């Protein structure tokens, strides 16, 4: 290694710059390795990436009826933001802060049907749209109430069965999901029903970004997922870079395990067994002929991550076949390898990585998006 390469191989997170990762994957060096263990970077990611992007907070059907209120914590362990998803009497959906504008108590801690919200601490009342209604013992307070006494609004939207929220989004939800919608909008997304039996939470001893790195390449499939490798055709596995997301397309060996694609689909005439969409930064929408396996990634700390698996089924007869079967086993295999990498990146002897131009374009794009948000470029 010459001295320039030596520097690139060791550079630290303190020196994150927009051009740290070359846009040309053939020339690029990966993220500094302390990126995956630094508490300082974890804090910066929380403020500059997670607070500025969209995350799934639940199922749109949980708040279908007028007057329903559902308290949720947006990204527990990082943002830890208490919010309420409500449907008012006119049927309008709202995302609002769950933090009382008097002295900060949580306004509502139990889901239910109600006509208004009443803070349990001193009785301040709000409408289901977050607007201030009344407050006992506040006579004589000047300029009260004002707009500052309404509960803060939280941007909220839905795609398919999923509700997304964000604190301060840098882009619209439509910008995040439009390309996915264009590709798989023909599927019966509205029929998808959550199957709790096929849903699980996993705790992983690794940095959330390592979990995403692993997700974003199919390079490891022949080595790590032997059973999955038997169901898909690794040779034709491909990655497509979208604006704020990545699509990996897995082709099946057996026609019966593949989608029936309409003529309007760009994939018509091919045997697609799985569409793996990753939405920046921490949402994965895995689409199979039976339905969707949603993965919500919750960063808990520099080396700890919770992953929620939620199965939404629209065709039970196609379950347990092909690429969309044995998801728990595949997850265990992924966790083992990601936890191994977490130990590796801590090593004093570890170096920044290069990328495979054929197989790691998704990882390269993810790292460049992270830098873009972290450096405000």
Closer residue to ligand FES, CB minimum distance, 121 or 223: 121
Interaction pattern, residues 75-104, with ligand FES; x per rule: CB under 6 A: -------------------------x-xxx
Give least dist CB 79 to ligand FES, A. Answer: 21
Tell me the two tokens of residue 5.
């390469």
Q: Do residues 352 and 29 touch, judged by C-beta distance below 8 A? A: yes
For residues 242 and 165, what is the distance between their CA atoms, to the nearest angstrom?
Answer: 21
Binding region for ligand FES (CB under 6 A) out of 118-126, 165-173, 254-262, 278-286: 118-126
Q: Which of 9, 47, 105, 116 binds ligand FES (CB under 6 A)?
A: 105
The full DSSP string for 216-252 is T-STTHHHH-HHHHHHB-GGG-EEEE-SSEEEEEEEB
Give least dist CB 82 to ligand FES, A. Answer: 13
Closer residue to ligand FES, CB minimum distance, 136 or 376: 136
Binding region for Fe ion (CB under 5 A) out of 234-242, 271-279, 309-317, 334-342: 334-342
By the 10 Å C-beta count (0-12 exposed, 13-18 middle, 19+ buried), 87 is classed as buried
What is each CA distance from 371 to 30, 49, 81, 245, 339, in whole angstroms? 11, 9, 24, 15, 23
**122 interacts with ligand FES by CB under 6 A:** yes
Count of residues touching ligand FES (by CB under 6 A): 10
99 binds, among ligand FES, Fe ion, none (CB under 5 to 8 A by kind): none
> Any idea what DSSP says for residue 29?
B
- End-to-end C-alpha distance for the chain, whole angstroms: 30
**108 interacts with ligand FES by CB under 6 A:** no
For the chain, the 3-state helix, strand and coil shares in percent, each to the nearest 5, are 30, 30, 40
334 binds, among ligand FES, Fe ion, none (CB under 5 to 8 A by kind): Fe ion
Judged by CB under 5 A, the chain residues 115 through 134 that form the site for Fe ion are: none
* H or E element at residue 195: strand 193-204
**121 interacts with ligand FES by CB under 6 A:** yes
Cis peptide before 145 (omega within 30 of 0): yes
**334 interacts with Fe ion by CB under 5 A:** yes
Closer residue to ligand FES, CB minimum distance, 122 or 238: 122
């Amino acid at each position: 290694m010459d001295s320039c390469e030596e520097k690139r191989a060791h550079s630290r997170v303190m020196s994150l710059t927009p051009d740290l990762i070359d846009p040309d994957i053939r020339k690029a060096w990966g993220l500094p390795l302390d990126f995956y263990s630094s508490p300082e970077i974890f804090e910066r990611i929380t403020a500059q990436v997670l607070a500025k992007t969209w995350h799934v907070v639940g199922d749109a059907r949980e708040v279908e009826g007028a007057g329903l209120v559902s308290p949720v914590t947006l990204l527990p362990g990082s943002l830890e933001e208490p919010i309420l998803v409500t449907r008012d009497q006119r049927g309008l959906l709202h995302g609002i802060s769950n933090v009382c504008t008097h002295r900060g108590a949580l306004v509502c801690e139990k889901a239910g049907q109600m006509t208004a919200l009443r803070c349990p601490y001193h009785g301040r009342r709000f409408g289901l749209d977050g607007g201030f209604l009344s407050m006992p013992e506040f006579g004589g307070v000047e300029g009260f109430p004002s707009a500052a006494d309404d509960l803060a609004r939280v941007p909220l939207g839905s795609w398919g069965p999923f509700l997304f929220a964000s604190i301060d989004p840098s882009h619209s939800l439509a910008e995040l999901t439009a390309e996915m919608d264009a590709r798989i909008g023909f599927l019966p997304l509205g029929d998808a029903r959550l199957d709790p039996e096929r849903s699980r939470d996993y705790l992983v001893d690794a940095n959330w970004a390592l979990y995403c790195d692993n997700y974003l390449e199919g390079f490891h499939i022949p080595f790590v997922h032997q059973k999955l490798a038997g169901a898909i055709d690794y040779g034709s596995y491909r990655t497509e870079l979208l604006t704020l997301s990545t699509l990996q397309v897995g082709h099946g060996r057996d026609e019966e395990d593949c989608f029936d694609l309409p003529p309007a689909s760009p994939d018509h005439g091919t045997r697609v067994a799985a569409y793996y969409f990753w939405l920046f930064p921490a949402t994965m929408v895995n689409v199979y002929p039976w339905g969707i396996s949603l993965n919500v990634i919750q960063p808990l700390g520099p080396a700890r991550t919770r992953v929620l698996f939620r199965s939404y089924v629209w065709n039970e007869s196609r379950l347990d076949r092909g690429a969309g079967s044995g998801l728990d086993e595949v997850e265990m295999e992924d966790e083992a390898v990601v936890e191994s990498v977490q130990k590796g990146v801590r090593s004093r002897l570890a170096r920044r990585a290069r990328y495979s131009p054929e197989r790691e374009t998704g990882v390269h794009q993810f790292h460049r998006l992270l830098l873009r948000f972290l450096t405000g470029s």
